[in-house]
Structure 1
């Protein structure tokens, strides 16, 4: 019984932390969001929502290599995620790697991503 309570408390804390990171990102403080989201993604590596917000936070704080890594992982988890494809293409372009971005732009277009 005690383990279950602890597990439920942990899940609530994870959700609260996700919401707190979302608030930091919305307030234009992506570095603070990164600190929270790195722990969340470490705890739940397949959590697509947390990984997406982490990638956005890295991008927003100009940590482009880390944004690229997070987006690459997201594309591997969800190949049909047009938003992730477009964001990865833009991250590559900001690193002056436009030729690598082309295939991701094409895939995003095919998936109907804006």
Structure 2
């Protein structure tokens, strides 16, 4: 199969909330194109939804290496760290996010963790 087909299958799986399959398809996409920001983001989201938090964190950090001002990646990384009870690290990410966006609301812990 082609990378484009694996990407389509990953998107379809994600939309159907079959996050495990989405991750498997995205693994194939990223094997062929490791610096594909959209694939890293979607795989991080799929990992997050599966509560596979360490792999989500790895993908989000890789994504932020490619796109240092990606607001969504920063927010999801903060939430991922919070879910792992790493609130101090999450606050650091939230501070950067607040500076990048100019929105101080990002400084607050997620409601579920406050």
Q: One fold, TM greater than 0.5?
A: yes
| Alpha-carbon distance, 1:95 to partner | 0.3
Match of 2:79 among 90, 102, 110: 90
| Alpha-carbon distance, 1:107 to partner | 2.0
The 2-side partners of 1:107 and 1:78 are apart by 14
Structure with higher Rg: it is 1
Query: 1:21-100 residue pairs with structure 2 within 5 A?
Result: 21-100=10-89
| Structure 1: runs of 5+ lacking an equivalent | 1-9
Structure 1 runs, 4 residues or longer, greater than 6 Å off: none
The SS at the match of 2:51 is coil
The SS at the match of 1:46 is coil
Matched length = 103
| Structure 2: runs of 5+ lacking an equivalent | 107-114
CA contact (8 A) 2:3 2:32 kept: no
